[in-house]
């Protein structure tokens, strides 16, 4: 007991200290964020862009889908270019041509090598010199650069119109015809793209490193890795090795847990689901509906990488363009996984406390309706935004926020936050009697309760920014939601719930499970909270972000070193007693979670986490390879496993079809592996090679993205996608049979814990 208290104190100290550091770094990000100028003027006094142009341009970009259509600072989609990197490369080449014509040449390529070298050196000085005057709020550029900027601006104005000269490029970028009707707004969009480019090539005051730490890699303008990227990458690997060494020493010193004999029968067999527990079934039906929709939209989105505006010859981009299908695909992944976990909380809370609060079932039903309103309402708003049917103010509240994974408009985000508060109340009041009652599982219940509070509150980070907040701060808080809310506290919640399941089944000692969960949570959050910063290396932040992010994101990998042991123990539990076979498939999904945690979050995650690696790889297909393997492989598999456990205990009298669950399990896992390792990883490696040897712009250019290698690798996704898509269909069939099929027959003399399976 004393040891458990020490672990809780350790966990509390880690939490407080980590968020204190994260808060201090957030303050520095705010203070040193790249400035948005009041105006951009040429040396001769011509006003090129104003602050209003840049801010309005960002809102125009949001209505197009924002990060779902190309990327900014490396975050977003992969078919269209990174707009800042694209502007930077085009401006550099145009400016070189302007100077060459001043020398009497046709263009830069017509000059001799000596003159070319001189102009390249001049280009670096011109673009990297910081012309921002804080006293006037103006950026001053040379007249030649103003000329180049005007030419590049005209390119983007044509790109987002219906100019037939750029038709092929729009198809390659998966941009619909005449995306922006208003000509002025097309010009303002260019102003925002220029600003993102300016932050990436302009040195900070009194420094030799740009606002984005020299990202993207573009040797033409002197954007190459800074020394800090290499130094902190080496330090992070050493920190990782030290962390794994300490963890293995701790585990060896602690020794193996005492063996525990499984009970003779299923401890949950006689449990009668309460009305509110039964009411969660509709959540799980919704989970499968959203999952199926996500798979369908994923297939359409992936195919857009080949045809751009068509789906196997059918032109659908005017109705559901790439930016919209990718928005819905990524949001659905969050929605259905979160719904599965929220439903699990609503289900297990009364089960743990043996207490059904008054009006609990009504609350569960009301919350389900609220979640549907958020999903349907936000999807409708995003469609209207991309169809250019909302003004910028209305778009902020009801349309498309433009930031990946938190795309829903502010009104829908507030409704979701209110829904989470309702969920927190429902789960908390059902858990409270168990939390007050002394028991060996009270520590685990306490962890579920604490993580429930964190899940409810931390989505509030999505409500922190306004229409014109600094982009660096939006990125800072966006990753609070994506990394801390989704990857952090939901995982703590799920770990505690799984431990309670195994303890309730009598397969592990409650006291040992409590200690293990608190310890693993402490280890996980040690790296997990400050590890959030590894997403922000190149988002207008300073070198301390690289240092803290590199070191602590490396620690995120430390607990994954023992996942093989965890997977083996979980698998061994299916052999503990004959009756445990009734929980075989939920447990095997938990085993799959361990496997994909190691592969997706561990191997593929750490391949991109070190600063020097991410410098070259951010915004390339290595990121979605990690994302697919970690998001579905870990959190999706976990959601399915939790769903199956709840259904297993809620529907004892119904036939449980292992014959359907077995192929569902294997098609999901094999299909995901094929998708990742036959397509996404090879594509990521190929693009990474191009980024390292040439530039980031080149790795994202149509020459590479629509070259024969990349398009072949896109087609290589099809077999894996087909195999994977069978999984959710089988799960839907399983759910249909479970809810509408016949009841299981109980034969005389049959062990009542062994419910017949087809």
pLDDT in tens, 375-401: 999 999 999 999 999 999 999 999 999
- Quickly state the pLDDT bin for 443 (edges 50, 70, 90): confident
Average pLDDT over residues 619-638: 94
Give pLDDT, residue 252.
Answer: 80
CA torsion through residues 91, 97, 100, 102, sign: negative
Domain ranges of the chain: 35-224
> What stretches of 69-182 show up as alpha helix (H) in DSSP?
83-102, 113-128, 143-159, 167-173
Longest dimension (CA), the chain: 100
Contact 653, 609 (CB under 8 A): no
CA torsion through residues 69, 75, 78, 80, sign: positive
At 143-179, the pLDDT tens digits run: 999 999 999 999 999 999 999 999 999 999 999 999 9
In the predicted structure, residue 699 carries a pLDDT above the cut 70: yes
Mean pLDDT over each residue of the chain, to the nearest integer: 93
389/387 Cα distance (integer angstroms):
6
Give pLDDT, residue 124.
Answer: 98
Contact 580, 260 (CB under 8 A): no
Cα-trace Rg, the chain? 27
673/599 Cα distance (integer angstroms):
10
Give pLDDT, residue 626.
Answer: 94
- pTM, two decimals, is 0.94
Q: Which residues contact 635 (CB under 8 A, 6 or more apart)?
A: 337, 486, 487, 490, 491
At 410-436, the pLDDT tens digits run: 999 999 999 999 999 999 999 999 999
Neighbour-count burial of 106, counting CB atoms closer than 10 A to its CB (0-12 exposed, 13-18 middle, 19+ buried): exposed
In the predicted structure, residue 41 carries a pLDDT above the cut 50: yes
Contact 456, 421 (CB under 8 A): yes
Give pLDDT, residue 259.
Answer: 61
Average pLDDT over residues 523-547: 95
Lowest mean pLDDT among 5-9, 348-352, 472-476, 658-662: 5-9
323/386 Cα distance (integer angstroms):
8
Contact 636, 337 (CB under 8 A): yes
369/364 Cα distance (integer angstroms):
9
Give pLDDT, residue 486.
Answer: 78
At 547-576, the pLDDT tens digits run: 999 999 999 888 887 777 777 777 777 787
Give pLDDT, residue 256.
Answer: 57
The β-bridge partners of 75 are: 72
At 347-369, the pLDDT tens digits run: 999 999 999 999 999 999 999 99
Average pLDDT over residues 62-68: 97
Q: Tokens representing 220?
A: 């033409």
């Amino acid at each position: 007991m004393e040891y458990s208290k020490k672990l809780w104190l350790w966990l509390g100290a880690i939490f407080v200290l980590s968020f204190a550091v994260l808060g201090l770094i957030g303050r520095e990000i705010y203070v040193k964020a790249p400035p948005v100028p009041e105006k951009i003027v040429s040396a001769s006094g011509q006003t090129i862009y104003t602050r209003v142009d840049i801010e309005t341009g960002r809102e125009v970009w949001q209505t197009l889908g924002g990060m779902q259509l190309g990327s900014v600072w490396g975050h977003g989609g992969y078919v269209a270019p990174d707009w800042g990197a694209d502007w930077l490369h085009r401006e550099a080449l145009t400016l070189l041509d302007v100077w060459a014509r001043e020398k009497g040449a046709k263009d830069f390529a017509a000059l001799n090598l000596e003159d070319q070298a001189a102009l390249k050196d001049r280009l670096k000085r011109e673009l990297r010199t910081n012309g921002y005057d804080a006293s006037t709020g103006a950026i001053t550029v040379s007249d030649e650069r103003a000329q180049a900027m005007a030419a590049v601006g005209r390119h983007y104005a044509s790109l987002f119109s219906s100019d037939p000269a750029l038709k092929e490029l729009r198809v390659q970028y998966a941009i619909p015809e005449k995306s922006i009707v208003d000509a002025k707004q097309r010009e303002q969009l260019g102003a925002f793209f220029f600003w993102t480019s300016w932050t990436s090539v302009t040195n900070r005051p009194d420094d030799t490193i740009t606002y984005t730490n020299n990202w993207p890699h573009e040797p033409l303008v002197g954007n190459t890795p800074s020394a800090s990227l290499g130094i902190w990458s080496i330090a992070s690997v050493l920190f990782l090795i030290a962390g794994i060494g300490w963890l293995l020493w701790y585990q060896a010193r602690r020794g193996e847990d005492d063996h525990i004999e499984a009970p003779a029968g299923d401890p949950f067999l006689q449990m009668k689901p309460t009305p509110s527990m039964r009411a969660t079934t509709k959540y799980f039906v919704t989970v499968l509906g959203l999952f199926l929709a996500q798979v369908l939209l994923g297939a359409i989105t992936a195919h857009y990488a080949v045809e751009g505006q068509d789906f196997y010859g059918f032109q659908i981009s005017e109705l559901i363009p790439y930016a919209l299908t990718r928005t819905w695909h990524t949001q659905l992944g969050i929605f259905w996984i979160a719904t599965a976990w929220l439903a699990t909380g609503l289900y297990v809370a009364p089960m743990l406390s043996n207490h059904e609060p008054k009006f609990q079932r009504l609350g569960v039903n009301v919350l389900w309706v609220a979640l549907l309103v958020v999903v349907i309402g936000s999807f409708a708003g995003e469609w209207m935004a991309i169809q250019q049917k909302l003004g910028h103010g209305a778009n902020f509240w009801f349309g498309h926020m433009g930031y990946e994974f938190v795309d829903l408009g502010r009104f829908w985000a507030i409704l979701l936050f209110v829904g989470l508060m309702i969920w927190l109340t429902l789960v908390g009041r059902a858990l409270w009697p168990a939390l007050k009652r002394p028991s060996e599982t009270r520590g685990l219940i306490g962890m579920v309760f604490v993580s429930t509070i964190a899940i409810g509150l931390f989505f509030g980070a999505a409500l922190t920014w306004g229409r014109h907040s600094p982009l660096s701060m939006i990125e800072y808080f966006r990753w609070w939601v994506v990394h801390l809310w989704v990857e952090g506290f939901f995982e703590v919640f799920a770990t505690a719930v799984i431990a309670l399941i195994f303890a309730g089944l009598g397969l592990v000692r409650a006291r040992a499970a409590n200690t293990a969960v608190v310890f693993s949570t402490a280890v996980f959050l040690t790296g997990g909270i400050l590890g959030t910063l590894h997403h922000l290396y190149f988002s207008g932040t300073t070198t301390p972000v690289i240092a803290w992010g590199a070191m602590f994101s490396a620690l995120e990998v430390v607990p994954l070193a023992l996942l093989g042991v965890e997977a083996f123990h979980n698998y061994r539990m299916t052999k503990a007693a004959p009756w445990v076979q009734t929980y075989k498939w939920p447990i095997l999904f938990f085993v799959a979670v361990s496997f994909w945690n190691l592969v997706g979050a561990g191997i593929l995650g750490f391949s991109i986490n070190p600063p020097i690696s991410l410098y070259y790889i951010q915004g390339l297909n290595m990121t979605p390879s990690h994302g697919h393997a970690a998001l579905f492989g870990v959190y999706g598999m976990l959601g399915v496993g939790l769903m199956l456990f709840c259904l297993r205990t809620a529907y004892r009298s119904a036939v449980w079809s292992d014959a359907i669950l077995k192929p569902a399990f294997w098609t999901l896992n094999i299909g995901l592996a094929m998708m990742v390792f036959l397509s996404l990883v090879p594509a990521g490696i190929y693009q990474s090679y191009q980024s390292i040897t040439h530039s980031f712009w080149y790795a994202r250019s149509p020459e590479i993205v629509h070259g024969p290698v990349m398009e072949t690798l896109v087609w290589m996704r099809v077999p894996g996608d087909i195999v994977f898509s069978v999984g959710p269909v089988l799960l839907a069939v399983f759910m249909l049979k479970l809810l509408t099929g016949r009841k299981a027959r109980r034969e005389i003399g049959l062990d009542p814990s062994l419910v017949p399976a087809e």
